Chains A and B, each alone.
Chain A
């Protein structure tokens, strides 16, 4: 049962070029100055990442070469070209976190989640692991942040250790399974707070 529930997570629907084009034309009609970064941010907010068709749609809509859109999308850290997992684990790589051993935590998480340098998202689509730039919570170093891929849920964990991480990841596993089984069962009860 668990397997069928989690494979549901992995199969996210990829938006078509037309769909993104429509979305972009909707959000830009209001502002007079069309700013590429702002459009990319909006598209990513909507879909969780920048689908290839989306980049093409933006290029067409703004009448600029696809290479320029791609250039901006790959220059900034914020933009993702691949769909993220349901929960994104961000490991802070700021100086204070580094000095307090967050690299170790990162490698531990990679091991725990079965990821490597080429693979950032777990097979079941539950977690993505990313190294992040300083959150400015250096007093609580080392710090990780766990956020849902749509950004609606965010939580910061301070003073993390491999032991604590193991516990946190297990909590999220339970949480995701609950969310998904509820979704599958069409019940309206909201388990997740």
Chain B
């Protein structure tokens, strides 16, 4: 039975005990157990590690920790060994014996598992010195990788719940709100509404009870920072939520977790249970007069449920449709009671601000947007993963310094920020500083922090079509501009991608977009036009090529491309012939292959399997006719 914490002194005592206990162990081995690393086999590697440590009789000397996502997902599975902070990447079960016998026993570094700078070839064993991490400023993610998300004691050891003690025993609710206002913390969900003002509105709104809500319905495709925080450090979110509830005067809270994140729901549920056992949640928190309870609500899969009013109706058990917000949800939310909803990252910022002060928080970032922001940097960059940077850093720094540039030496084309509500930003605007206001100026938005990098192989018309189709599926259908507008946009864009576009389509698209952005009920419809408009604005020539020349320069739009085997390069290996799912390839071991264009379904399997680069994609040009008769191969010169 755990002893309940009944005062701030109890908490400090417990913290000292935990720290004293952990000092006995020399090494801590953190194994990333994020969803990404598990997919790459971290769980199997973990078993091997546990066995190997036991075999060497190191039990008691080495602590193995299952930690949350450390963000460098590209290089998973990842192991970090403290206190040296040695970072091993792409660790397989067969690497484990070396790690244990060399590093843990002899203190040497296993060179082959260490990060190698692709430009200089230099080996960088220390986590903090890898360029991907070096240029980051990790506040919210600082403890991902150090603590076991399923252990409240780990969180307490790194100073957890200290801010809660300070808030409950040294500050009045009004003082907390003033502090948050002074910190200039803005909603991390994307819109950037000042958090302090939202809290004050709910506090002053008439009606009891009041509710606080964590929005972890991270629906933006390409974004996963909320997942990483919920999976990797759920207590930090919970602590922020409790402080917020105390400041606002709420006694009940909800955590809304989307359906696709089972591990996040599991970890936050466990965190709630632990906090209750320790007296940090429930009746008379830490011996104060304040009581607060939290329930986890699993979403059922609807993008629009990430919108605040829709999320609240979903918690009520209804169809998650947004409502007009003449009256803010902060005043009338769940069951028409004042409800304060914030994003996961916003709540996680709160303990830091309370503990270190508003001034410190304001010193990071820009004047209009303080603090840090987490981006999930994905797409065609070398280093994909989670990136926490101070606001105001340029897109160029994120993509090229941290992200390590474009994969495979290709050319950068655009970066898409803010998910389906954001826009495409072209190369000439790469020096735009990243904050709420600057991104909006170039036609995009911060959104919840997705950042998808696109290279010359991405078709901008297809990318716009993708977002429109995504939103068409996700629109709740309540208001006409969004429902019908998206339907028409989708029809037109699909036509263009099929090579059936007309020149007057562009004007029609612009008209529909204008209506949607003015007249839609919620942000889903209003911002749905951003990807289309920015794509049109910055990449107009690609649209014209699709419409006039029936050409897709990125060779993505299926209707506009053809596969073709270069007879000069084909070595008649029969690989493509055997792999073609529809039997469209003709030829034999002696003769060059050719593709029957009538049969070809353009699946790209032949393109992928060809070892000689003989299969080509062509667009906007005539297909060379198949060789007459059987053409013998021209052997490649050795």
- Cβ–Cβ contact B601 & A111, under 8 A: yes
Q: Enumerate chain A residues within 8 angstroms of B416, measured Cβ to Cβ.
A: 95
Q: Enumerate chain A residues within 8 angstroms of B466, measured Cβ to Cβ.
A: 95, 98
In the assembled complex, the CB of B468 is this many whole angstroms from the nearest CB of chain A, namely: 12
Q: How far is the CA of A34 from the CA of B259 in the complex (A)?
A: 19
Known interface pairs A75-B476, A79-B300; A139-B222 also in contact (CB < 8 Å): no
Stretch of B23-31, B374-382, B520-528, B621-629 contacting A (4+ beta carbons < 8 Å) = B374-382
Interchain Cβ contacts under 8 Å between A and B, 25 examples: A36-B318, A41-B300, A71-B319, A72-B318, A75-B302, A78-B259, A79-B300, A95-B466, A99-B380, A108-B605, A111-B581, A133-B221, A134-B224, A135-B260, A136-B227, A136-B260, A138-B376, A138-B378, A138-B379, A140-B36, A141-B378, A156-B39, A158-B36, A162-B581, A162-B608
Q: Enumerate chain A residues within 8 angstroms of B223, measured Cβ to Cβ.
A: 134, 136, 138
A104 within 8 A of B: yes
Known interface pairs A36-B318, A138-B384; A77-B221 also in contact (CB < 8 Å): no
In the assembled complex, the CB of A157 is this many whole angstroms from the nearest CB of chain B, namely: 7
Stretch of B277-285, B450-458, B630-638 contacting A (4+ beta carbons < 8 Å) = B450-458
Closest chain B residue to A136 by CB distance? B224
Q: Enumerate chain B residues within 8 angstroms of A108, measured Cβ to Cβ.
A: 581, 603, 605
B40 within 8 A of A: yes
Q: Which of A36-50 contact B (CB under 8 A)?
A: 36-38, 40-41
Residue from the list B320, B458, B582 in contact with A99, Cβ < 8 A: B458
Closest chain A residue to B303 by CB distance? A133
Residue from the list B221, B298, B319 in contact with A75, Cβ < 8 A: B319
Count chain B CB atoms within 10 A of each CB in A36, A75, A99, A100 and give the residue with the most: A99
- 8 further A-B contacts with Cβ under 8 Å, apart from A95-B466, A111-B603, A134-B223, are A34-B317, A75-B476, A77-B300, A78-B300, A95-B378, A100-B379, A101-B604, A141-B378
- Cβ–Cβ contact A76 & B300, under 8 A: yes
Closest chain A residue to B320 by CB distance? A75
Q: How far is the CA of A182 from the CA of B356 in the complex (A)?
A: 61
Q: Enumerate chain B residues within 8 angstroms of A157, measured Cβ to Cβ.
A: 39
Q: Enumerate chain B residues within 8 angstroms of A135, measured Cβ to Cβ.
A: 35, 260
Q: How far is the CA of A132 from the CA of B319 in the complex (A)?
A: 20
A137 within 8 A of B: yes
Closest chain A residue to B457 by CB distance? A99
Q: How far is the CA of A167 from the CA of B378 in the complex (A)?
A: 27
Residue from the list B302, B384, B458 in contact with A76, Cβ < 8 A: B302
Known interface pairs A108-B581, A156-B39; A94-B222 also in contact (CB < 8 Å): yes
Closest chain B residue to A131 by CB distance? B473
B261 within 8 A of A: yes
Q: Which of A109-145 contact B (CB under 8 A)?
A: 111-112, 132-141, 143
In the assembled complex, the CB of B155 is this many whole angstroms from the nearest CB of chain A, namely: 22
In the assembled complex, the CB of B74 is this many whole angstroms from the nearest CB of chain A, namely: 5
Q: How far is the CA of A163 from the CA of B605 in the complex (A)?
A: 7
A88 within 8 A of B: no
Q: How far is the CA of A83 from the CA of B1 in the complex (A)?
A: 44
Residue from the list A158, A162, A163 in contact with B39, Cβ < 8 A: A158
Q: Enumerate chain B residues within 8 angstroms of A158, measured Cβ to Cβ.
A: 36, 39-40
Closest chain B residue to A33 by CB distance? B317
Q: Which of B586-622 contact A (CB under 8 A)?
A: 601, 603-605, 608-609
- Cβ–Cβ contact B261 & A136, under 8 A: yes
Q: How far is the CA of A161 from the CA of B378 in the complex (A)?
A: 18
Report B313-334 CB contacts with A as 1/0, cut-off 8 Å.
0101111100000000000000
- Cβ–Cβ contact B221 & A94, under 8 A: yes
Q: How many interface contacts (CB-CB < 8 Å) are there between A and B?
A: 150
Closest chain A residue to B458 by CB distance? A99
Q: Enumerate chain A residues within 8 angstroms of B221, measured Cβ to Cβ.
A: 93-98, 133-134
Q: Enumerate chain A residues within 8 angstroms of B319, measured Cβ to Cβ.
A: 71-72, 75
B193 within 8 A of A: no
A82 within 8 A of B: no
Q: Enumerate chain B residues within 8 angstroms of A100, measured Cβ to Cβ.
A: 379
9 tightest A-B CB contacts, nearest first = A136-B224, A77-B301, A139-B73, A94-B221, A76-B300, A156-B39, A138-B378, A35-B317, A95-B222
Q: Which of A59-73 contact B (CB under 8 A)?
A: 71-72
Q: Enumerate chain B residues within 8 angstroms of A75, measured Cβ to Cβ.
A: 302, 319-320, 476
Q: How far is the CA of A72 from the CA of B219 in the complex (A)?
A: 19
Q: Enumerate chain A residues within 8 angstroms of B579, measured Cβ to Cβ.
A: 163
Count chain A CB atoms within 10 A of each CB in B450, B463, B609 and give the residue with the most: B450
A107 within 8 A of B: yes
- Cβ–Cβ contact A139 & B298, under 8 A: no
Closest chain B residue to A96 by CB distance? B378
Q: Enumerate chain B residues within 8 angstroms of A41, measured Cβ to Cβ.
A: 298, 300
B419 within 8 A of A: yes
Q: How far is the CA of A40 from the CA of B318 in the complex (A)?
A: 11
Known interface pairs A77-B302, A78-B301, A156-B38; A162-B260 also in contact (CB < 8 Å): no
Q: How far is the CA of A144 from the CA of B238 in the complex (A)?
A: 31
Residue from the list A79, A112, A155 in contact with B581, Cβ < 8 A: A112
Closest chain A residue to B227 by CB distance? A136
B290 within 8 A of A: no
- Cβ–Cβ contact B301 & A76, under 8 A: yes
In the assembled complex, the CB of B21 is this many whole angstroms from the nearest CB of chain A, namely: 34
Q: How far is the CA of A75 from the CA of B310 in the complex (A)?
A: 12
Q: Enumerate chain A residues within 8 angstroms of B376, measured Cβ to Cβ.
A: 136, 138
- Cβ–Cβ contact B219 & A133, under 8 A: yes
Q: How far is the CA of A120 from the CA of B316 in the complex (A)?
A: 31
B220 within 8 A of A: yes
Q: How far is the CA of A192 from the CA of B466 in the complex (A)?
A: 39
- Cβ–Cβ contact B39 & A95, under 8 A: no
Q: Enumerate chain A residues within 8 angstroms of B603, measured Cβ to Cβ.
A: 104, 107-108, 111, 162
Count chain B CB atoms within 10 A of each CB in A71, A141, A157 and give the residue with the most: A141
Q: Enumerate chain A residues within 8 angstroms of B317, measured Cβ to Cβ.
A: 34-38, 72
B307 within 8 A of A: no
B385 within 8 A of A: yes
- Cβ–Cβ contact A140 & B39, under 8 A: yes
Q: Enumerate chain B residues within 8 angstroms of A76, measured Cβ to Cβ.
A: 259, 299-302, 320
B63 within 8 A of A: no
Q: Enumerate chain B residues within 8 angstroms of A93, measured Cβ to Cβ.
A: 221, 470
Q: How far is the CA of A75 from the CA of B385 in the complex (A)?
A: 32
Closest chain A residue to B470 by CB distance? A93
Q: How far is the CA of A71 from the CA of B601 in the complex (A)?
A: 38
Q: How far is the CA of A99 from the CA of B260 in the complex (A)?
A: 20
Q: Which of B439-494 contact A (CB under 8 A)?
A: 450, 452, 454, 458, 463, 466-467, 470, 476
Q: How far is the CA of A78 from the CA of B261 in the complex (A)?
A: 12
Count chain A CB atoms within 10 A of each CB in B221, B454, B467, B579 and give the residue with the most: B221
Known interface pairs A75-B302, A75-B476, A162-B603; A132-B222 also in contact (CB < 8 Å): no
Q: Enumerate chain A residues within 8 angstroms of B542, measured Cβ to Cβ.
A: none
Q: Enumerate chain B residues within 8 angstroms of A71, measured Cβ to Cβ.
A: 319
Q: Enumerate chain B residues within 8 angstroms of A72, measured Cβ to Cβ.
A: 317-319
Q: How far is the CA of A154 from the CA of B262 in the complex (A)?
A: 11
